[in-house]
Amino acid sequence: MKSFFIGNLEVKLPVIQGGMGVGVSLSGLASAVANEGGIGVISCAGLGLIYHKSPGDYLNKCILGLKEEIKKAKEKSKGIIGINIMVALSNYTDMVKTSIAEKVDVIFAGAGLPFDLPSYLTKDSITKLVPIVSSSRAAKIICDKWKNNYGYLPDAIVVEGPKAGGHLGFKVNQLEDEQYSLEQLIPEVVSIANLYKDEKNIPVIAAGGISTGKDVLRFIELGASGVQMGTSFITTTECDASDTFKYVFINAKQEDVRIIQSPVGMPGRAIDGEFIQSVEKGLEKPKTCPFHCIKTCDYTKSPYCIVQCLYQAAKGNMKKGYAFTGINVHLSQKISTVKEVISNLKAEFLKAKLES
């Protein structure tokens, strides 16, 4: 596996660990992946719940929690640490400003188009900016808007296909349509990135349903510089979620994966269970909302509180939450270390290369 550059940062292992909230990918998982040469990513979603003992209101707890997770990750690793920030978060601005002030290496921004992301950079910023898109059209719009408004181009682009876990940037009827497959999207986004190659090298990163070394090779051959993987890292000892949560993945079969409608206003891919069935019966409607964590969420119309349910799930309370997953959850067989997952991936990649 060849290294690649995001600006002046050399990513020695072309693997980015996907940001998974709430509390699934924090400093523990991120630092372990960074130590193997990849990019470790902290999810900033719902940090105010995880750091509920911190002073101040929910928004303040989120800022303090993010600072603490960045500090812990930097203590455990000298590798590349990124932050995943959902554009849909009501404290998106706080999370971006804090990440830049704390000199985090990369911001990955998705679940909405981060049109104003470069506006937060300061003179002494070192943070690289990477939007997450689901189409070549979105990639082109972001490149042009950033260039025209800020004289800045993305440092890389993550392309998340329809087989990803969590929130999906597609309509439900597009998820099985070959026209929207990641194999179709990667060459299209690579050709958009190439339009700007005289000004900046913009590596394209493939994401969504990537689980094996053979998958990695396939997308690199299609023009991607690297891949983003989430689900494969959940069943590791270093993952920040509880063991109960991890065993939900180990025990899940392919038929347990389903598409749900999230209060964020996007479809999401999750593992079916008691909580999802309870939501369908209308039994999980929130009575109040102390967080207002998502810009578009109106708790009076919402079927459940997403930040609470993801937080409860990661803690192991599966009666009160569910797990988002990529399409290949059935490949999760046992709890391994991050080192073992990556060494396996390298062996599969090499084998696929020799066979091709």
Q: What's the pLDDT tens digit per position in 124-155?
A: 999 999 999 999 999 999 999 999 999 999 99
Q: pLDDT band at residue 61, thresholds of 50, 70 and 90?
A: very high
| H or E element in which residue 42 lies | strand 39-43
Q: pLDDT band at residue 301, thresholds of 50, 70 and 90?
A: confident
67, 103 Cβ separation under 8 angstroms: no
According to CATH, where is 3.20.20.70 located in the chain?
4-243+331-355
Beta bridge partners of 268: 167, 260
Q: pLDDT band at residue 356, thresholds of 50, 70 and 90?
A: confident
217, 352 Cβ separation under 8 angstroms: yes
Average pLDDT over residues 305-329: 95
Domain 4-243+331-355 of CATH type 3.20.20.70: yes
Quote the pLDDT of residue 63.
Answer: 97
User: Which own/partner pairs from 96-104 qualify as long-range (CB within 8 Å, at least 24 positions apart)?
Assistant: 96/120, 98/63, 98/66, 98/67, 99/44, 99/66, 99/70, 99/127, 100/125, 100/127, 102/66, 102/67, 102/70, 102/71, 103/127, 104/70
Q: pLDDT band at residue 289, thresholds of 50, 70 and 90?
A: confident
40, 30 Cβ separation under 8 angstroms: yes
Average pLDDT over residues 328-334: 95
Quote the pLDDT of residue 183.
Answer: 97
Q: pLDDT band at residue 227, thresholds of 50, 70 and 90?
A: very high
In terms of residues, how long is the chain?
A: 356
Quote the pLDDT of residue 94.
Answer: 96
What is the distance between the alpha carbons of residues 151 and 73, in angstroms, rounded to a whole number? 31
Q: Determine how β-strand 106-110 pairs with β-strand 128-133.
A: parallel
Phi-psi domain of 28 (left: phi exceeds 0; alpha: psi -120 through 50; beta: other): alpha
Average pLDDT over residues 211-222: 98
Quote the pLDDT of residue 203.
Answer: 98
Average pLDDT over residues 150-173: 95
Counting residues of the chain whose pLDDT is more than 90, the rounded percentage is 90
Quote the pLDDT of residue 296.
Answer: 77
Average pLDDT over residues 253-280: 92
321, 313 Cβ separation under 8 angstroms: yes
> Residue 190: is its pLDDT beyond 90?
yes
What does pTM read for this prediction? 0.96
Q: pLDDT band at residue 26, thresholds of 50, 70 and 90?
A: very high
Average pLDDT over residues 85-107: 96
Give backbone dihedrals phi and psi of 261, rounded to 5 degrees, phi first. -100, 120
Quote the pLDDT of residue 89.
Answer: 92
Kindly state the tokens that stand for 346.
């390298």
